[in-house]
Amino acid sequence: MFLKYIVKGDRELCGSVRIQGAKNSVLPILAASILSNDKCEIHDCPDLSDVRYTMEILEAIGCSAAYENGTVTVDSSSAFNCEIPPHLMRQLRSSIVFLGAVTMKMGKARMSMPGGCPLGARPIDLHLKALKALGIKAREEAGFIETDASDAKCAHVHLAFPSVGATENTILAAVKIKGESLITNAAREPEIVDLCNFLNAMGAHITGSGTGTIHIEGVASLKGINYRIIPDRIAAATYMCIAMATGGEIELENVKRDHLTAITNELRDEGARVEFFGERGYIRAPGKIKSAAMIKTMPYPGFPTDAQSVFMPHLIKGDSTSVIVENIFENRFKIVPDLNLMGADIVTEGRSAIIRGPRQLSGAHVVAPDLRGGAALLIAALSAKGESVIEDEGHIARGYENLVENIRSLGADIRCE
Residues acting as catalytic residues = 117
Residues in the chain: 417
Task: Look up residue 188 and give its amino acid.
Answer: R
User: CA-to-CA distance for 30 and 72, rounded, in angstroms?
Assistant: 8
Please report how many Cα atoms fall inside a 13 Å half-sphere around the Cα of residue 99, on the Cβ side. 34
Name the percent of the chain in helix, strand, coil, to the closest 5: 35, 25, 40
Cα–Cα distances in angstroms (integers) from residue 371 to residues 195, 334, 406, in the given order: 23, 11, 17
- Strand intervals (E) in 176-223: 180-184, 205-207, 213-217
The residues, any chain, with a CB within 8 Å of residue 69's CB and separated by 6 or more, are none
The residues, any chain, with a CB within 8 Å of residue 276's CB and separated by 6 or more, are 255, 257, 282
Find, among 273, 355, 366, the residue nearest to 314 by Cα: 355
Instruction: For residue 389, report the phi and psi dihedrals to the nearest 5 degrees.
Output: -125, 125
* CA dihedral over 279, 198, 264, 45, signed as positive or negative: negative
